[in-house]
Amino acid sequence: MEIKVNKINAYSRELTINLSWDECLQDFQQTIKKFSKKVKLPGFRPGKIPLKVLMNKFMPNIEAEFIEEGVNKFYIEALKEENLIPVNKANIEDVHFHYEEHFKFKAIFQIEPKIVLPKMKKNCLKIQKTEYISDDIDIDNVIDEMRRSRAEVKTIEDGAKEGHYLIVDFQKLDNSGLPIIGEKLEKRFLQIGTDPFSGDNMKKLIGLKAGDKVQVDLPDLNDNSMTKYELSIINVEEQVVPEVNQEFIKSVEPDSKDEASFRNIIMKKVNDSYAQRSEEAFERTLADSMIEYVKPDFAPAMVDSYLDHLIQEAKEQQQSQDLDENKIRDSYKAVAERNMKWYLIRKAIVSNQDNISVSRDDIDKEIQKLLERSPDHSKEIKQYYKKPSNRQRIEDDLIEKKVLNYLEDFTKIKDVKVHTKVLREETENERSK
């Protein structure tokens, strides 16, 4: 078998495979034998048709069957011989074969490109790392969220006020004020005073009781026009949040001695959360900086496979096949390409650095940390990490950390302090747009 490998680019390969008739003869005879057993011809039993009759009557069919089987067989043999691993299904082109002639075809496919890393120098990567400076408002917000999560629901009988919650049925109306069949949303929650139930709409809702109906104008999500709805009030509720007293403090943080120590515990949790946020952003920025430094090629077929996996996961989670797959591909294509580039770079770094590896003991120690942090769920954790694929996730995370630590040695890091007040203002501005 003659094999020619044409390197089209970093990830595309074209194999030209050529076999002489002598190399094909044995396989062709096997094809004839199998074909004769399944073909039916009046006057002959299956498998007993004379070779000459079979060849004269069915030669094009036999040749086609041989080509179908032969392409697959010899393509796989050629891949093994050339030590190539495709990442997609090959396109087969220029197929030539006739009885007693040579067998030739081309296979075009993609492989995982080999990444050649540039020489790493001191400060060749430049990024910034953010330190968030929290304040009392962050602590207040966390405590308020704790209070809301423990709020008691109280039914209001004497009419709704600003801040109250309504349980309503939404019925969409046409321009004449008649209900549109099929456009009804049942038992939805809304809070009086929050958009779009503020302003004129809030005035219409004030004083309502269970059983009342009212018409309001709400923005249409599709074209930003206003659409009329009739709201049928099922219930009016008030959320009564608990006061920050000793009983509340002990129920939330049993180790707290008083409000001051309670706030200190919350402050530590807030700072730990921001520190984790900073570290995650730093690691991602470091990886992105390395991607920009290397500018690696990637196989488009690998990105397609990544997106196929995302779509399959989405279908399983939603238990629905009615997904806009094109929308998912468009939305996540840039993310998939970025992740594929980082995967290839990380793999190249690991293969070039002998000290970047993870042992079974390393994985066990990481699982032990999880058990110590969540002793009440030790049985579930142990069961979860019995599965090899879940242990593999820990190994991947540990490898990622080691790769990033390696890159830090070549990184100039600029420390930047950001007050959380700025983050809150940015969030508020986004909401107001």
**For the chain, what is the HEC assignment?**
CEEEEEECCCCEEEEEEEECHHHHHHHHHHHHHHHHHHCCECCECCCCCCHHHHHHHHHHHHHHHHHHHHHHHHHHHHHHHHCCCECCCCEEEEEECCCCCCEEEEEEEEECCCCCCCCCCCCCEEEEEEEEECCHHHHHHHHHHHHHHCCEEEECCCCCCCCCEEEEEEEEECCCCCEEEEEEEEEEEEECCCCCCCHHHHHHHCCCCCCCEEEEEEECCCCCCEEEEEEEEEEEEEEECCCCCHHHHHHHCCCCCCHHHHHHHHHHHHHHHHHHHHHHHHHHHHHHHHHHHHCCCCCHHHHHHHHHHHHHHHHHHHCCCCCCHHHHHHHHHHHHHHHHHHHHHHHHHHHHCCCCCCCHHHHHHHHHHHHHHCHHHHHHHHHHCCCHHHHHHHHHHHHHHHHHHHHHCCEEEEEEEEEHHHHHHHHHHHHHC
Percent pLDDT > 70 in the chain is: 97
pLDDT of res. 432: 67
Q: Identify the CATH assignment for 2-110 out of 3.40.50.9100, 3.40.190.10, 1.10.1060.10, 3.30.70.1050.
A: 3.30.70.1050
pLDDT of res. 320: 59
* pLDDT tens digits along 193-203: 998 899 999 99
Alpha carbon separation from 31 to 15, 26, 62, 78, 99 (Å, rounded): 24, 9, 7, 20, 12
pLDDT of res. 46: 66
Instruction: Tell me the sheet residues that pair with 237.
Output: 155, 165
Q: How sure is the predictor about 222, in pLDDT bands with cuts at 50, 70 and 90? A: low
- Is CATH 1.10.3120.10 the classification given to domain 125-133+277-432? yes
> Where in the chain is CATH 3.30.70.1050?
2-110
> Where in the chain is CATH 1.10.3120.10?
125-133+277-432
Instruction: Tell me the sheet residues that pair with 5.
Output: 15
The answer to whether residue 221 scores a pLDDT higher than 70 is no
Return the minimum-mean-pLDDT range out of 43-57, 78-92, 396-410: 43-57
pLDDT of res. 141: 95
Q: How sure is the predictor about 375, in pLDDT bands with cuts at 50, 70 and 90? A: confident
* pLDDT tens digits along 319-353: 656 678 888 899 999 999 999 999 999 999 999 98
Return the minimum-mean-pLDDT range out of 37-41, 177-181, 274-278: 37-41
**Pairing mode, if any, of strands 213-219 and 226-240?**
antiparallel
Its pTM stands at: 0.78
The answer to whether residue 154 scores a pLDDT higher than 70 is yes
User: Which tops the pLDDT comparison, 221 or 15?
Assistant: 15
pLDDT of res. 323: 76
Tokens encoding 241: 């949040």
The answer to whether residue 355 scores a pLDDT higher than 90 is no
Return the minimum-mean-pLDDT range out of 48-57, 80-89, 172-181, 226-235: 48-57
Using left for φ > 0, alpha for ψ between -120 and 50, and beta otherwise, residue 216 falls in: beta
pLDDT of res. 47: 65
Most confident of 21-35, 122-136, 167-181, 321-335: 122-136
* pLDDT tens digits along 32-76: 888 888 777 776 766 677 778 778 888 899 999 999 999 999 999
What is the rounded distance in angstroms from the CA atom of residue 56 to the CA atom of residue 60? 9
pLDDT of res. 284: 96
**Span 152-240 CATH architecture:** Roll (3.10)
What is the rounded distance in angstroms from the CA atom of residue 162 to the CA atom of residue 81? 76
What is the rounded distance in angstroms from the CA atom of residue 347 to the CA atom of residue 12? 19
Average pLDDT, the chain: 91
The answer to whether residue 228 scores a pLDDT higher than 70 is yes
pLDDT of res. 427: 85
Percent pLDDT > 90 in the chain is: 73
pLDDT of res. 223: 64
